[in-house]
């Protein structure tokens, strides 16, 4: 409930979109983080933190802004927007146009909202229609860059395909391929998934790390957000395709991360079975995507807490340590701050972040709710187009 205040009290007052971070300029709102914010509003209504009417009013404000003010490129949004005007704020020199992965994280949230507000009254019907207009307007297959069998991450009106980054697995991009296959007007074919995302099977790992077999991805699994962002909406329980069992993938990646921190091969003071979790976060003097392959001694609370559906016991132990032992050193007005280090040898003294990031706060709310009730999983996978798209790509699950 405290974490939700980031998405409610600290949202941009004009657009309702979610600010990138508590230390960023006030007008910078984040597309993907706003998708997480929409999902957190659903949780807040269900939990009684806010009323359904309050949630509807805020979501209407956000959707209206996205539909009528926010700049779009072939239906897709940029990574950052100005929360007042809707104009692009460049994320980097060439990243001043469409970001199709950020767009998919936003659409994931919009579809959950559409499924939640299912009543026949005029306000909710209008909201659903506006969400459909936004979602159906994304030209997913255009991002194949001239019909290639892969999706590309960015496109700029000023620089074209200059960034030229293919969305290849395994990482947070699974949701992009699922939504692209689900599109009413601009769908990709299964071959784009197989040859692009799955890299003709090269996505597979199959080796064992920290006693756990890892079906997909880089050695040791990479940062934990790989198993969070797409699975805020996609339910991995009982899910499989030609490449992996995703229940095994999500659980084992989380356990590899846990066991790595517990065994602490780099000898950082404070790591334990209750102090674990490596993912992208602020660190002292910067920002990095922490993982077992890039362990600099900084723990991000979102890593263990957003893995709650996959590692409930290990995540709960971390939660209790973060809350009861570290307490107000890291638990503040918007929940847990972004990261910390207890290391008094390599880092000279304990260090505690004093900032919050939307993309790290959101998954905490959504994944704890998915662990408790499966709420967002049930909403997202109830979308008829998502079911059809996932089946088209070769997925099977009890809910499909």
User: 98: which DSSP letter?
Assistant: E
Bridge partner list, 208: 213
Which class for 137: exposed (0-12), middle (13-18), buried (19 or more C-beta within 10 A)?
A: middle
DSSP, collapsed to helix, strand or coil, labels residue 380 as helix
The per-residue pLDDT for 358 is 98
For residues 319 and 305, is the Cβ–Cβ distance under 8 A?
Answer: yes
In 3D space, the residue among 364, 367, 60, 340 whose CA is nearest the CA of residue 237 turns out to be: 367
Residue 20 has pLDDT above 70, yes or no: yes
> Half-sphere exposure of residue 44, counting CA atoms within 13 Å on the CB side?
27
Q: How confident is the model at residue 89 (pLDDT cuts 50, 70, 90)?
A: very high
pTM equals 0.98
Give the DSSP per-residue string, 48-71.
TSS-HHHHHHHHHHHHHHHHHTS-
The per-residue pLDDT for 349 is 84
Mean pLDDT of the chain: 98
In 3D space, the residue among 183, 310, 218, 296 whose CA is nearest the CA of residue 258 turns out to be: 310
**Residue-wise pLDDT tens digits, 216-237:** 999 999 999 999 999 999 999 9
Tokens representing 166 are 């293919």
Residue 60 has pLDDT above 80, yes or no: yes
Q: How confident is the model at residue 123 (pLDDT cuts 50, 70, 90)?
A: very high
The per-residue pLDDT for 347 is 67
The per-residue pLDDT for 160 is 98
Cα–Cα–Cα angle for 196, 377, 205, rounded to 5 degrees: 35
Tokens representing 70 are 């926010």
Q: How confident is the model at residue 157 (pLDDT cuts 50, 70, 90)?
A: very high
**Residue-wise pLDDT tens digits, 324-380:** 999 999 999 999 999 999 997 776 789 999 999 999 999 999 999 999 999 999 999
Average pLDDT over residues 157-161: 98
Average pLDDT over residues 141-152: 98
- Beta-carbon count within 10 A of 320 CB: 11
The per-residue pLDDT for 384 is 98
**Residue-wise pLDDT tens digits, 206-216:** 999 999 999 99
Tokens representing 10 are 């600290």
The per-residue pLDDT for 344 is 79
Q: What is the 3-state secondary structure (H, E, C) of 269-317?
A: CCCECCECCCCEEEECCEEEECECCECCCCECHHHHHCCCCCCHHHHHH
Residue 183 has pLDDT above 90, yes or no: yes
**Residue-wise pLDDT tens digits, 251-295:** 999 999 999 999 999 999 999 999 999 999 999 999 999 999 999
Tokens representing 96 are 């001043």
């Amino acid at each position: 409930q405290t974490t939700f205040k980031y998405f409610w009290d600290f949202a941009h007052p004009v657009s309702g979109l979610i600010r990138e971070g508590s230390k960023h300029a006030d007008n910078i709102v984040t597309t993907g983080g706003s998708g997480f914010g929409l999902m957190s509003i659903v949780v807040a209504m269900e939990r009684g933190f806010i009323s359904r009417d309050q949630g509807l009013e805020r979501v209407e404000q956000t959707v209206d802004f996205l539909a009528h003010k926010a700049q779009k490129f072939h239906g897709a949004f940029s990574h950052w927007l100005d929360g007042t005007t809707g104009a692009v704020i460049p994320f980097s020199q060439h990243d001043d146009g469409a970001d199709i992965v950020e767009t998919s994280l936003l659409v994931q949230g919009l579809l959950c909202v559409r499924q939640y507000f299912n009543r026949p009254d005029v306000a909710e019907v209008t909201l659903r229609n506006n969400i459909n207009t936004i979602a159906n307007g994304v030209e997913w297959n255009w991002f194949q860059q001239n019909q290639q069998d892969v999706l590309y991450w960015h496109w700029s009106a000023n620089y074209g395909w200059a960034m030229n980054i293919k969305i290849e697995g395994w990482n947070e991009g699974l949701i992009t391929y699922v939504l692209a296959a689900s599109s009413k007007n601009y769908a990709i074919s299964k071959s784009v998934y197989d040859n692009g995302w799955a890299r003709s099977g090269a996505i597979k790992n199959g080796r064992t790390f920290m006693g756990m077999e890892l079906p997909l991805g880089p050695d040791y699994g990479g940062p934990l957000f790989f198993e969070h962002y797409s699975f805020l909406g996609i339910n991995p329980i009982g899910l499989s395709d030609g490449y992996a069992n995703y229940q095994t993938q999500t659980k084992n990646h989380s356990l590899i991360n846990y066991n790595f921190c517990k065994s602490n091969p780099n000898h950082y003071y404070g790591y334990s079975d209750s102090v674990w979790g490596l993912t992208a976060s602020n660190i002292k003097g910067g920002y990095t995507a922490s993982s077992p392959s890039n362990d600099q001694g900084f723990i991000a609370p979102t890593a263990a807490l957003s893995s709650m559906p996959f590692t409930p016991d290990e995540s709960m132990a971390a939660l209790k340590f973060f809350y009861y032992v570290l307490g107000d050193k890291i638990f503040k007005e918007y929940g847990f701050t972004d990261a910390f280090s207890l290391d008094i040898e390599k880092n000279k003294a304990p260090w505690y972040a004093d900032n919050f990031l939307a993309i790290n706060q959101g998954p905490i709310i959504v994944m704890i709710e998915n662990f408790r009730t499966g709420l967002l999983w049930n909403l997202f996978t109830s979308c008829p187009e998502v079911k059809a798209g996932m089946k088209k790509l070769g997925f099977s699950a009890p809910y499909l």
